[in-house]
Chain A
Amino acid sequence: AQKVTQAQTEISVVEKEDVTLDCVYETRDTTYYLFWYKQPPSGELVFLIRRNSFDEQNEISGRYSWNFQKSTSSFNFTITASQVVDSAVYFCALSERGNNNDMRFGAGTRLTVKP
C-alpha cells in the first residue's frame, strides 16, 4: 500500500529564514511519482514539482529546492529566504503506475512565515 507521511503538522518561521518540509513515503511499486503541492487559503492546489522514481537528481527552482533520496524514501522540500507569501499548507503526494497514477497525499504541513 502506498503511504505518505508529513510528520511536521505546523511550522512557523520569520521572514528570510530557510525552512525544510519533510516527506517520507512508502510504496511497493518500482515506478512511481512524487509531487509537492501548495494550498493557499483559496483552496486550490498549486503544482510545484513532480519527480519520477528513476530520477534522483535534486532540483532547484528559484528559492525552492527538493532533495529526493530513495535510500531513505524521502522527498524533502526546502524554501530558502522564506517570504510571507510562502505561507500556505504544503502537501507531498505519491502516485504509483500500478494504481493508475492516482495520487495519495500526506496530511500536509502548515507553514506560517512571519514578517
Chain B
Amino acid sequence: ETGVTQSPTHLIKTRGQQVTLRCSSQSGHNTVSWYQQALGQGPQFIFQYYREEENGRGNFPPRFSGLQFPNYSSELNVNALELDDSALYLCASRLLGQPKGYTFGSGTRLTVV
C-alpha cells in the first residue's frame, strides 16, 4: 500500500508571509488530519477533514485553514506567519473504521524567520 506523502520536506519562510503545505493521502482514505509538532513536544491537533469538509478543529486561529480534494490530497494553509509557527507539520489519513487508526506522513519542517 502507498503511504502518506508530504511536500515539501523543509521550508523557510519570513514572518508575515503565507505558506501552503501539501499532503497526498493513501488511496481510499476519506479522513485527513493535520498536526503541529513544536520541538520537544507532542503533536497538537489542528483540524480534520472528512469527505472534503472540516469536521473538527483544535485550538488554532482562523489563519490556519485547509482543503481536502477528491483525489485524496489535502492542503494546510497558514497566513500571516509568526515565529511560533515554526514546527513540524504532520499529515495523517485514515479510512473510517480502520483498526490501525491514522497513517502519518514524515512531515514538513517549517521554519519562520
Residues of chain A having any CB pair with chain B under 8 Å: 4, 6, 33, 35, 37, 42-47, 50, 91, 93, 95, 99-100, 102-108
Contacts and interface: CB of A to CB of B under 8 A. Distances in A.
Contacts of B103: 47
B107 A103 contact: no
Bin chain B's interface residue count: 20 to 34
Contacts of B44: 105
Contacts, number: 58
Interface of B: 33, 35, 41-45, 48, 50, 55-56, 58, 88, 90, 92, 99-107, 109
Contacts of A47: 100-104
The DSSP consensus for interface residues of chain B is: strand
A45 B33 contact: no
A103 B102 contact: yes
Contact of A103 (B33, B41, B50, B55): B33
